Every structure is written in structure tokens, then in C-alpha cells.
Structure 1
Amino acid sequence: MKIATWNVNSIRTRQDHVCQWLTANPVDVLCLQETKVVDEQFPRSRFEDLGYHLYVSGQKSYNGVALFSRKPLEAVTVGFTGVLTPEEVGELDGQKRLITGILDGVRIINLYVPNGAEVGSEKYEYKLSWLKLLKEYVRSLLETQPHELCICGDFNIAPDDRDIHNPKNKDKHIMASPAERQALEEVLALGLGDAFRKFTQDGGHFSWWDYRHGGFSRNRGWRIDHHYLTPKLYEAATRCRIDVEPRKLEKPSDHAPVIVEFES
């Protein structure tokens, strides 16, 4: 099985890139973030023509997540509601940031963690609240259902200093502040492993590069797109890689796909 995650920064703008990539890389499941389109306007037919079943949860101009799967998925749901109570979720399902489905006994959770804008801002506090709820969501799934978990997407967090081209002043920088890293660590402490770090320990490997200041050409990037796996699935992983080729295209997404592979 191959599962890929990719923040495409607008599926309608990047649909040619995604079609080309899927033709060259026919993964079993593709998890997209920042689709930026309401469900009714999602460009479904081009991907269905490639043999994929589509499951989408979008909103106009912002956020949005989608699952493309070669085989139909089971138990597809969106948001935290349904696993957690409406009282626990509150307003945190207002933005379209989470979709999940089951394939061959693996629950794939595709998410787009809020960016947070600036340390100490309202959006930063929203991000921390969202991550706290994610922890309770994952805890509930682990306690109530038998499936292995692959939690993937754009986490908007670099887990450690190896994941930033220049960690100077990181404590004050969004995506690397201590509170964000701690919130992510608390999710992972439920029993999840970083698939990429199973195979690659050194730094300098990034999945996002700022459009400005020659970020990509100078490899001034961040590794903020991840696959986190429960123990049996972690052991079954045989490879995890970042494909930088789509970032070289004309008018690309600022993110690159990250692919994890498992033995049959």
C-alpha cells in the first residue's frame, strides 16, 4: 500500500499537476489539503477518470481536505464530530480540516492543522485548541476501534530543529514554538511514530518552501507535512520519501508530496 499526503494550495489551480503526478505515481490513497473549493465545484471527473474514488470536504477559498482512493473507502467521516461530542468540539469543526476513511483495516486520517499566523495571536490560540482536540479525537479512536492509524497531512509544525533550514529564533517563530511542538508531542505520545524519521535521521529534508526569497531554489524549507503511524503500521512501513519534483513545476504548490509505503 502507498499513501501520499500533499497540500496542493488550491486543487482547481493545481489539478494538472495532481493529474500528472498521479499518472506517474499511482498511489493507493492521496490525501489533499488546502483544496480551497466547495464540494459542488470540486473538479472530480479528471481524477475519477484516473480510477479514483473521491471523498471531499471543502469550503470556499480556504482550507478543505480530500481523499482519493483506488478502492472505495469505508466509514468516511469529516471533522471531529461523530467521534467526539458536539459539546467537546464546539466551534472547531467550522473549518474543513479533517476527513477520515478506512482502507484494508487502516484508518487514514487526513488533516490540515491551522497555521496559527503569529505566536500569541488569536489564531495561535485557536491552533493550540485544535491540537488539544485532535489529541482527544485520536485517544478516542485508539480506545474504541481496532484499526491501525495513519494520521497524515499538513501539520504546520516542524517537530525539531532538523526540520528547519535555519532554526534561529525558532522559539518565537510560528510552526516551531515550544507550545506547538509540545501539543504535537502530546498527540504522538498516544503511540504514534514519524514514518519519515524511521528511514531518514539527518536534516535538510523539507516539504514546504516559502514562495518568497528563493525559498525552494536555496532549499530554505521546513518539514511540516507528516505521516504518523500506530506501532504495527510503523513496523510495516518500508519507505517514506518527499517528492520534490512537483515543486519544480511552473506555478507549483509551495508544498511537496510525502509518500509512505507499506509491505503487503
Structure 2
Amino acid sequence: MRIATWNVNSIRARVDRVVAFLERSGTDVLAIQETKCRDDQFPYLAFEAAGYEVAHVGFSQWNGVAVISRVGIEDVAPAFPGQPGFAKPATTGDGELPGDAPDPVHEARALGATCGGVRVWSLYVPNGRAVDDPHYTYKLAWLEALRAQAAGWLAHDPAAQVALVGDWNVAPLDTDVWDVSVFEGSTHVTPAEREAFAAFAGAGYREVSREHLPAEHTYTYWDYKQLAFPKNKGMRIDFTWASPALAARVGAVTIDRDERKGKGASDHVPVILDLAD
């Protein structure tokens, strides 16, 4: 079985590329992030015509996650239990906080589905924006809530086959960015974010893409600006934390760098896992 994850940065803009990737790569299950559409806007028919089922959650032109499968989709969950929402503190005209804080807004950032016996979670971790932004605190809370749930899933069933895949918006190592000095004081590389990411190992999971592709300066994302891709100014921020039972089945991991080339490419590329039967 072949599972892949890909931040497509707008599914409606790239549906043809995504379908072509599925057919060319022989991918059985694809987790995608940043679909940037509501459920009623998702191009289901294109995938159904190619022999795939789709589970999607999206509320607006932001965020959005999906799982696309040709080996079945069961037990779809549009969020993980306890998934935090985001509420940026509101201010009055003079910059003072009002008496009542706004309610947190639930965002379309996690979708779980069981495909071919594997519980696949498509995850779009909050960006964090800036270290002094409320979104950064939200990001850390979101990761901790996911870690707690993921630990509980293994405690309930140590043999569970779980794949936590997606855009984690964390560069765990200095070599996961082209020049770590450029990121000094910025998100994605702070100790707190890296600790939150590494905590999934303590929950019993293995980050299998690093195990199989340990090379330094191996990236999954390149900005559209300033010729970042031709200059290879990238980041490695797309990963898979696998439960022990699933990690034991992973025979190879591939980063499809060629998907960043050509007209209409996403700024991320697919990360592909090959599983033994």
C-alpha cells in the first residue's frame, strides 16, 4: 500500500496535477492540506472518476484538509477530540481589550479516516505567524492536544496502525532550513515548537520519513518568492509520525521533488510512504 501527504495550496487550482500524481505514482491514499475551499466547493467528481473516494472538511477559503483513497474510507472524523480553536484577542478602537473575549473558532486542520486498515490523519498544523502572536500560543496548544490524543490512541490499542501525516509547520533540525540564521527569532525553529514536535516520540510514535530519508537539506517546501526553488532555499516541514505497528511496515519513503516544477505547482511536494502488506 502506498500512502502520501501533500499540501496542495488550493485543490481547485491544482486538481488536474493532483489526479495526475495519483495516477502516475500509484498512490492508494493521499492526505492533502490547504484545500482552501468549503466542502461544497471540493472537486469530488474528478477524483471519483479516477476511482477514489474523498473525505474533506473545509469551512472557507482558508485551511481545509482531506483524505483521498481507493482502498476505502471509514470512520471519518472532521477533527480530533479536544482539537483547540483559535481566538485572536479583540481590541477596542484605542487598543484596549474588551470585556468579553471572543469565542475560539474551530478551523479545518485535521481529518481522520480509516483506509485499508490504516487510521490516516491529514494534519495542517497552525503556522504560528510570529513568536509574539496569539497564533503561536494556539499552535503549541494544538500540537499538545494532538499529542495527548495520539498517546491515548496507542494506550487504548498498542497494535493500532496510525499515520499522523501532513504539514507540521515545524523544522525540527537546523538542517531542515536552507539557512537557520535567517529564521532567528521566527517561528518554525523555536525550541518550544521543536519540543512539541519531538514529544510525539514520547507518545510512542516514530517519524518514519526521517528514518528513511535522513539526508541533510532535504526539503519539502520552497516559497514562491525570490526564486527560492531554483536556489534550493527550502524547508523540511512535511512529516509522518507513525505508530509502532505501522512504522514496522514502512519499507521506503520518497519526497517527490519534481512536483515543485512546472506551471501551477504547489509550494510543497508530496511525501510518499510505501508499506509492506
The TM-score bracket by the shorter chain reads: over 0.9
Residue in structure 2 matched with residue 162 of structure 1 by the alignment: 175
Check conservation: 1:80, 1:93, Cα contact below 8 A. Answer: no
**Is 1:96 the equivalent of 2:92?**
no
Q: Quote the Cα distance in structure 2 between the aligned partners of 1:8 and 1:54.
A: 15
1:131 aligned to 2:133?
A: no
Are 1:247 and 2:260 counterparts?
yes
Task: Check conservation: 2:80, 2:112, Cα contact below 8 A.
Answer: no
Q: What SS does the aligned partner of 1:168 have?
A: helix
2:129 to 93, 104, 117: 117
Whether 1:140 aligns to 2:152 is: yes
> Given that residues 127 and 169 in structure 2 are in contact (C-alpha distance below 8 angstroms), is that contact kept between their aligned partners in structure 1?
yes
Which is further off, 34-43 or 144-153? 144-153
d(CA) in 1 for partners of 2:267, 2:17? 12
- Runs of 4+ deviating beyond 3 Å: 88-93
Does residue 234 in structure 1 map to residue 247 in structure 2?
Answer: yes
Alignment of 1:1-264 (within 5 A): 1-81=1-81, 84=82, 89=84, 94-145=106-157, 146-168=159-181, 170-264=183-277
TM value normalised by structure 1: 0.93
Instruction: Go from structure 1 to structure 2 and tell me whether the alpha carbon gap of 1:118 and 1:90 turns closer, same or farther (over 3 Å shift).
Output: closer
Normalising to structure 2: TM-score of the pair?
0.89
Q: Mind listing any 5+ residue stretches in structure 2 that lack a counterpart?
A: 87-103
Sequence identity percentage: 37
| Number of aligned residues | 259
Q: CA deviation at 1:230?
A: 1.4
Measure the CA separation in 1 of the matches of 2:184 and 2:265: 29
1:171 is displaced (CA, Å) by 4.8
Q: Which moved more, 1:196-205 or 1:154-163?
A: 196-205
Quick check: which has more Rg, 1 or 2?
2
3-state DSSP of counterpart to 2:245: helix
Segment of structure 1 superposing worse, 219-228 or 132-141: 132-141
Q: Is the 8 A contact 1:29 1:70 kept in 2?
A: yes
1:207 counterpart letter in structure 2: T
- Give 1:40 deviation, angstroms: 0.8
Alpha-carbon contact 1:6-1:258 (below 8 Å) kept: yes
CA RMSD of aligned residues (A): 1.6
Query: C-alpha displacement at 1:168, in angstroms?
Result: 1.5
Distance (Å, rounded) in 2 between the aligned partners of 1:47 and 1:246: 18
The secondary structure found in structure 1 opposite 2:4 is: strand
- Cα distance in 1 for partners of 2:195, 2:224 equals 28
Distance change in 2, residues 1:171/1:134 (3 Å) = farther
Secondary structure of the residue aligned to 2:59 is coil
Gaps of 5+ in 1: none
> C-alpha offsets along residues 7-47 of structure 1, whole Å, 9 cap, x if unaligned?
00000011111121112112110000000110011111011
Structure 1 CA distance for aligned equivalents of residues 39 and 76 of structure 2: 15
